[in-house]
Amino acid sequence: MSDLLTVDGLSVTFRVPGATVRAVSGAAFRVRAGRCLALVGESGCGKSVLAHALLGLLPGNATVTGQAWLDAGGGERIELVGASRKVLARRVRGRLVGLIPQSPATYLTPVRTARAQLEETLRELGAPQGAAELAGRHGLRPADLDKYPHELSGGMAQRVANAMALAGDPRLVLADEPTTGLDRPLVDRAMAALRELCAEGRAVLLITHDLRAAERVADDLAVMYAGRLVEAGPAAEVLARPRHPYAAGLIAAQPDRHFVPIPGMPPELTALPDGCAFRPRCGRASEACAVLPAMAAPDGRTRDGHAAGGDAAEEHTVACHHSLEESRA
Amino acid sequence: MLEASGVTVRYGRRAALEDVSLRVVPGTVTGLAGPSGCGKSTLARVLALMLRPDAGTVTLDGVPVLRWRQRAPRELRVRVALLYQQPRPAVDPRLPLAEVIGEPLAAAGRPGPDRVRELAELTGLTGDLLGRRPHEVSDGQLQRACLARALALEPRYLICDEMTTMLDASTQAHLVGVVRDYQRRTGAGVLAISHDMTLLGRWADRVVHLGEPPFRTFAESAHQIRQVRDLGE
């Protein structure tokens, strides 16, 4: 398995009147072929901004720094942050990276049939296959294609959006809150579709606030808080034994667990506190937390030390001075 | 009691609801479950007096509802509040949150900054957010404002239509807690609409299932709730 996407030190800021919004701060992670990484966190934590930054889809007041290396095949790597518009438009979007959007029903153009939109996508990408063939692979009948978006059920709209995202046979698929507004059976079906993409050898980056959806599909999990990754590792391990107090609180807040909210609210991204941003809400905070904790494995190695680590399972890392593992040991 | 009986709603030739009956009892939380597109939201709009059904009746504390939307009598209208799944289309984008929350108070002719602050505190909104406009806050913060707005006139019935579907687990647990406290304090009746049986198992006193048309039947499942509770505890 190779790293299809390697993100390092990625930061995104927005200039707004009188302030700077630090939406993403120093994100580092990798997405490997055949695996799904779920990026979870509450609304407004910066996870969607991160996905859009990778595709160059942010508005003009955004500044992106850091690096994101995409494996383009044939030994070639494209650095997405510094890539020109032309490279992003002609090589990356739709071809190397497919985007599965939030709420597919509203993403489709309401006044054109599913077929017209699929055909347009295929034509722009210069893809050899026909709309019917592509749709068939995504569980749509030819008759469904002649429907307008308002005539499609949630599940069918989802399949049309998936078909469009995959028309260019991308190596990496970004799914940005793909389950918004879907009921549980449809969420399960959407997650099964993502799983199939992994089985085909694609890499999937799933952005979601829905921990149960993430649990169904993700190999690896990264938890984001106030624009920073605070915990990452194998999904099953992070969900079963979270180390960061925020991750632990988020997992415990689910209705099938304690169903108790984390006290307080996330900080404003225009006025992030120094040090750990979770400090004001954290029951374990101490003076040490005034210094920003680095992502580290329990034995103290920082994450950078293993970034080249090949096929090994992802290491469980956490950015916390008082991680829960420490107290158990 | 807020009661719909034999309600049918058609959009064109398609029936969204057919002969559906449901009771929302004060002091309790009624869960309403069912698959996407089964008409849950349509029923919510009928019960909130925002959609006139093609057939059937709605009674509110024994008073039959004869007029709908803005023509419904004010004393009936303010007794039911509706909270939507998506907060963004549900607010005027030009208004700061304090005015969003204060809208029902102003409309009722008793604007009150103190009451707005009280409501904001209840839903966990800090003072600095009250001056922001909707595009300057997150979905979770905006939904808190919508909940504060819904509670502004102390409705006797609160309909939560997938209120937390877009929100993370912590915000969901918080908002459900706020609604639960309100319901216990005031004896209001709550209709909690969700496709999430685990959530309804933790929240509702009873759950009714709305099936897909054309065979629209209700099944009440105390049994199923108990099962979910057993899993949860």
Residues B33 and B100 reside in one and the same domain: no
pLDDT of A126 over the 60 cut = yes
Encoded tokens for A48: 């969607």
- The A-side interface with B (CB below 8 A) comprises 41-44, 153-155, 180-186, 209, 211, 249-251, 253-257, 259-262, 265, 268
pLDDT at B111: 84
Q: Do B57 and B12 fall within a single domain?
A: yes
Residues of A in contact with B197 (CB under 8 A): 184
> Whole-angstrom Cα distance, residue A205 to residue A98?
10
- What pLDDT, on a 0 to 100 scale, did the predictor assign at position B213? 55
Q: Answer whether residue A98 is part of any domain.
A: no
Q: Who contacts B88 (Cβ-Cβ below 8 Å, separation ≥6)?
A: B134, B139, B142
Residues B9 and B72 in one domain: yes
Please give the pLDDT value at position A302: 57
Q: Tell whether the torsion through CA atoms of A98, A103, A105 and A110 is positive or negative.
A: negative
The terminus-to-terminus CA distance of chain A in angstroms comes to 33
| pLDDT above 70 for A309 | no
pLDDT for the residue numbered A299? 65
Give the tens place of pLDDT for each residue, A163-180. Answer: 999 999 999 999 998 887
Q: Are residues B132 and B160 in the same domain?
A: no
User: Using the beta-carbon criterion (under 8 Å), do A186 and B36 form an inter-chain contact?
Assistant: yes
pLDDT at B134 over 60: yes
User: Which residue range(s) make up the domain with A55?
Assistant: 3-33+41-83+210-318
Q: pTM score, two decimals?
A: 0.87
Using the Cα atoms of residue A221, residue A226, residue A227 and residue A228 in order, give the sign of their dihedral.
negative
B31 is a domain residue: yes
pLDDT digits (tens, 9 = 90+) for B83-128: 998 899 999 999 999 999 999 999 988 888 999 999 999 998 988 8
The predicted pLDDT at position A185 comes to: 79
- Residue A312 resides in a domain: yes
Residues A272/A258, Cβ–Cβ less than 8 Å: no
Single-letter residue type at A228: R
Residue ranges making up the domain that contains B120: 93-154
> Which of B154, B178, B199 is a domain's end point?
B154
Q: On the CB side of B43, how many CA atoms lie within 13 Å of its CA?
A: 34
Number of folded domains in chain B? 2
Confidence of residue A102 (pLDDT cuts 50, 70, 90): confident
| CATH code, domain carrying B31 | 3.40.50.300
> Does residue B87 fall inside a structural domain?
no
Same domain as B128, residue B15 = no
Mutation site, A254, A260, A281, interface B, largest B CB count within 10 A: A254
The pair phi, psi for residue A42, each rounded to 5°, is -80, 165
- Report the pLDDT value the prediction gives residue B225, as an integer from 0 to 100: 43
Amino acid B231: pLDDT? 40
Flag whether residue B146 sits within 8 Å of chain A, measured between CB atoms: no
* B85 falls within a domain: no
Q: Are residues B19 and B51 in the same domain?
A: yes
Name the E strands within B43-149. Answer: 55-60, 63-64, 80-83
Instruction: Check residue B174 and give its pLDDT.
Output: 95
- Computed over every residue of chain A, the mean pLDDT equals 89
**B204-207: long-range contacts (C-beta < 8 A, 24 or more apart)?**
B204/B29, B204/B30, B204/B31, B205/B28, B205/B29, B205/B30, B205/B31, B206/B28, B206/B30, B206/B31, B207/B30, B207/B31, B207/B32, B207/B33
Query: Tokens 């504060």, residue?
Result: B148
The ipTM of this complex is 0.82
Band of residue B233 on the pLDDT scale cut at 50, 70, 90: very low
Question: Is B38 found in the same domain as B129?
Answer: no
Name the closest residue on chain A to residue B137, using Cα atoms.
A44
pLDDT at B226 over 80: no
Q: A61: Cβ–Cβ under 8 A, 6 or more apart, which residues?
A: A14, A15, A16
Query: Which residues of chain B lie closer than 8 angstroms to A259, CB-CB?
Result: 173, 176, 202, 232
Domain of A272: which CATH number?
A: 3.40.50.300
Q: In chain B, which residues have their Cβ closer than 8 Å to the Cβ of A209? A: 166-169
Q: What is the pLDDT of residues B201-213, one digit of tens each?
A: 999 999 998 876 5
- Work out how many domains chain A is built from and give that number: 1
Question: Has residue B84 been placed in a domain?
Answer: no
Assess if residue A328 is contained within a domain: no
Residues B125 and B12 in one domain: no
- pLDDT exceeds 70 at position A1: no
In a domain, A107, yes or no: no
Domain end point (choices B128, B154, B180) = B154
* pLDDT tens per residue, range B30-63: 999 887 777 888 999 999 999 999 999 999 999 9
- Domain-located, residue A215: yes
